[in-house]
């Protein structure tokens, strides 16, 4: 993934309408708008500009090479491979660069240090998963005071919300996703009253995955299901060991589910290792290749797709637009959705490796489905 990060010496960008007009020029803005209208089928006299836009040329006025800093809590986790492809693709499209730093095992203080470095470097935008309700309040305020826009992705605070002044959140509503998965498990009869269920979570208490667990428990517990929350750790090798150890001590369990990508891989591996298919059900989170293979093979019954690619692509676009518009195009909250994937629906995910799911670095155009399921 390292070849997608193009490091340059950042320049301080003044976030103001005056800066925007300096680059764009009042006259230059007219053909750009006309080109956009022509591309949408509107009437315009700026045909040459429209032709350039249609040919794939950059429609933007000449602008600096904006540098975006993406801070992450588990920088080596495979879940974020498609996220980084999304960032890289948006940077290529918009003429930006990005850096990828933070923590490998969800330590907020390391993320704050990375964020302070980005502020000191005068980057043009910062994107960060807010996995702690309080740890990022001060650094976000420092960034904003320096004129650097900040957006959250993948995780947003569950309390102290008014004190966290990030400008937008791009990602799944984690609590509601946990609720939806649990409701589906009960509705399908995969879990029923009296069952013992293992709930696997890499880093309990963090704002990105604890809400998923809490949402699921809020549905399962009133239904008479016992959920044993299991701390699996942030590293994949730890997660495999933790899931195995829990099952060996709870062989009466009827189901295991995970609320993060690594723990999901571990659940699938455990069910396969102990030949539990058809005896113990399994649900994961996200659509990394091991999870998809687990669904195909029947080691997992469900997983939740939160569209990791969009969690990199959209923040990059939002930060770019904020810069080039002089702050007029403010970032907005974007829910990247909830799709529950099963063995019956996993086929398209595995049919062709794509950057959108992080299964290949090759850029490919896929065929649009002939119908859309609602």
pLDDT in tens, the chain (374 residues): 444 444 333 333 333 333 333 334 433 333 333 333 334 333 333 444 444 444 556 678 889 999 999 999 999 988 899 999 999 999 999 999 999 999 998 999 999 999 999 999 999 999 999 999 999 999 999 999 999 999 999 999 988 999 999 999 999 999 999 999 999 999 999 999 999 999 999 999 998 899 999 999 999 999 999 999 999 997 878 899 999 999 999 999 999 999 998 999 999 999 999 999 999 999 999 998 899 999 999 999 999 999 999 999 999 999 999 999 999 999 999 999 999 999 999 999 999 888 898 888 888 888 888 888 77
Cβ burial of 366 (10 Å; 0-12, 13-18, 19+) is: exposed
The topology under which CATH files domain 2-172+309-336 is Rossmann fold (3.40.50)
Contact 169, 143 (CB under 8 A): no
- For residues 136 and 160, give the distance between their C-alpha atoms in angstroms, rounded to a whole number: 11
Span 174-305: which CATH code? 3.40.50.2300
Backbone angles phi, psi at 55, to 5 degrees: -80, 0
Domain ranges of the chain: 2-172+309-336, 174-305
Task: Report helix, strand or coil for 170.
Answer: strand
Strand partners, 335: 171
Helix axes 17-24, 310-324, angle to 10 degrees: 90
* Identical fold between 2-172+309-336 and 174-305: yes
């Amino acid at each position: 993934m390292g070849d997608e990060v193009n490091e340059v010496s950042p320049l301080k960008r003044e976030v103001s309408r005056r800066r925007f007009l300096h680059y764009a020029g009042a006259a230059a803005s007219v053909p750009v708008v006309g080109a956009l209208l022509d591309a949408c089928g509107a009437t315009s006299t700026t045909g040459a500009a429209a032709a350039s836009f249609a040919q794939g040329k950059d429609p933007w006025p000449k602008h600096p090479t904006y540098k975006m800093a993406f801070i992450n809590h588990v920088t080596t986790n495979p879940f974020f491979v498609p996220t980084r492809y999304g960032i890289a693709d948006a940077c290529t499209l918009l003429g930006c660069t990005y850096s990828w730093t933070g923590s490998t095992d969800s330590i907020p203080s390391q993320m704050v240090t990375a964020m302070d470095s980005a502020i000191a470097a005068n980057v043009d935008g910062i994107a960060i998963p807010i996995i702690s309700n309080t740890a990022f309040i001060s650094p976000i305020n420092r960034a904003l005071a320096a004129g650097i826009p900040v957006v959250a992705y993948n995780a947003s605070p569950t309390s102290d919300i008014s004190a966290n002044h990030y400008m937008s959140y791009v990602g799944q509503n984690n609590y509601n996703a946990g609720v939806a998965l649990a409701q589906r498990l009960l509705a399908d009869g995969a879990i029923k009253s009296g069952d013992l269920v293992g709930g696997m979570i890499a880093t309990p208490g963090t704002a990105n995955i604890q809400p998923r667990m809490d949402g699921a428990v809020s549905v399962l517990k009133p239904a008479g299901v016992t959920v044993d929350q299991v701390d699996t750790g942030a590293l994949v090798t730890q997660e495999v060991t933790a899931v195995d150890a829990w099952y060996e001590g709870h062989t009466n369990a009827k189901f295991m589910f995970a609320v993060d990508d690594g723990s999901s891989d571990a659940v699938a591996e455990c069910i396969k290792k102990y030949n539990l298919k058809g005896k113990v059900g399994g649900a994961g989170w996200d659509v990394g290749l091991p999870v998809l293979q687990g669904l195909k093979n029947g080691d997992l019954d469900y997983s939740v797709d939160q569209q990791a690619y969009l969690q990199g692509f959209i923040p990059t676009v939002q930060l770019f637009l904020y810069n080039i518009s002089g702050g007029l195009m403010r970032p907005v909250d974007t829910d990247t959705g909830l799709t529950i994937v099963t063995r019956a629906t996993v086929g398209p995910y595995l049919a062709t490796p794509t950057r959108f799911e992080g299964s290949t670095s090759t850029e490919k155009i896929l065929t649009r489905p002939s119908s859309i399921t609602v």
